[in-house]
């Protein structure tokens, strides 16, 4: 009889110990889970996920999708890499968008190249091995320019104008914008007579490209 009571007591104590061990293990797991927070976002990132990287960048930064095997990981950059241009969104989350011009290293927008790959000339936003008829190559800048007199020098390109249509900046969605290179003023030494200086026959060089804007109604003047 006494042996039976002892056996029952040992079984009871063993079950109590096993139950306590299970409770302790469960408590440890709960503590471990509770201390695990969301993934820390990298610098410049406002919202991110463990699988896709950055989902939304902080203002003024561009989100760029890097290829990682079959995944695309979002990273935030101050400027877009070669072959991409920055597309700003008024609602935030600016993006790096890939250039769509062949042999282009840097572009102003999807369809206008500003820098071609090595050995190619740029003209009107396109890249080519040689310049079109009526244009001459400038090896220093790898551009195609008008056939002008040797004494004619043009300055740097001006910034692109606002997107316009029929001299208006409102009431349309698709328009055009332009930029210009103006002739540089000729300089000559004081002892050179004006008759010996070649006449300046330069004309400005202009480039145009199409543009798309958010359509806004024009305000009438009363």
Annotated domain spans of the chain? 39-97, 99-147, 152-184+202-222
Q: Which residues contact 112 (CB under 8 A, 6 or more apart)?
A: 101, 125, 209
Half-sphere exposure (CA, 13 Å, Cβ side) for 72?
Answer: 5
CA-to-CA dists, residue 31 to 19, 22, 39, 50, 113, angstroms:
18, 14, 18, 21, 56
Residue 82 contacts residue 106 (beta carbons within 8 Å): yes
Residue 178 contacts residue 142 (beta carbons within 8 Å): no
Q: Does domain 39-97 have CATH number 1.10.760.10?
A: no
Question: How confident is the prediction along the chain (222 residues), in pLDDT tens digits per residue?
Answer: 555 554 555 655 455 554 554 454 554 444 443 333 445 888 889 888 888 889 899 988 999 998 877 788 899 999 998 888 888 877 777 889 888 888 898 888 888 888 899 999 988 888 999 998 888 888 888 888 876 655 677 788 888 888 888 888 888 888 888 888 888 764 444 444 444 344 445 777 888 888 887 778 887 765
pLDDT at residue number 78: 92
CATH class of 99-147: mainly beta
| pTM > 0.75: yes or no | no
Within the chain, strands assigned E span 45-49, 53-57, 62-68, 71-77, 84-87, 94-98, 104-109, 112-116, 121-123, 126-128, 135-138, 143-146, 174-181, 205-212
Do domains 39-97 and 99-147 share one topology? The answer is: yes
């Amino acid at each position: 009889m006494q042996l039976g009571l002892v056996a029952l007591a040992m079984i009871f104590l063993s079950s109590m110990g096993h139950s306590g061990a299970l409770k302790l293990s469960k408590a440890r797991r709960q503590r471990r889970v509770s201390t695990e927070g969301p993934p820390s976002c990298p610098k410049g990132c406002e919202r991110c996920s463990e699988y896709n990287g950055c989902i939304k960048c902080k203002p003024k930064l561009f989100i760029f999708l890097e290829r990682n095997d079959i995944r695309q990981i979002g990273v935030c950059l101050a400027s877009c890499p070669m072959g991409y241009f920055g597309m700003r969104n008024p609602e935030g989350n600016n993006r790096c968008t890939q250039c769509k011009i062949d042999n282009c290293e840097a572009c102003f927008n999807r369809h206008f190249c500003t820098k071609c790959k090595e050995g190619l000339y740029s003209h009107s936003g396109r890249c080519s091995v040689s310049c079109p008829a009526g244009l001459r190559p400038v090896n220093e800048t790898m551009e195609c320019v008008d056939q002008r007199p040797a004494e004619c020098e043009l300055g740097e390109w001006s910034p692109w104008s606002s997107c316009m249509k029929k001299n208006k900046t409102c009431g349309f969605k698709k328009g055009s914008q332009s930029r210009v290179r103006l002739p540089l003023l000729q300089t000559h030494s004081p002892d050179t007579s004006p008759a010996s200086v070649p006449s300046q026959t330069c004309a400005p060089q202009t480039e145009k490209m199409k543009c798309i804007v958010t359509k806004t109604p024009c305000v009438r003047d009363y």
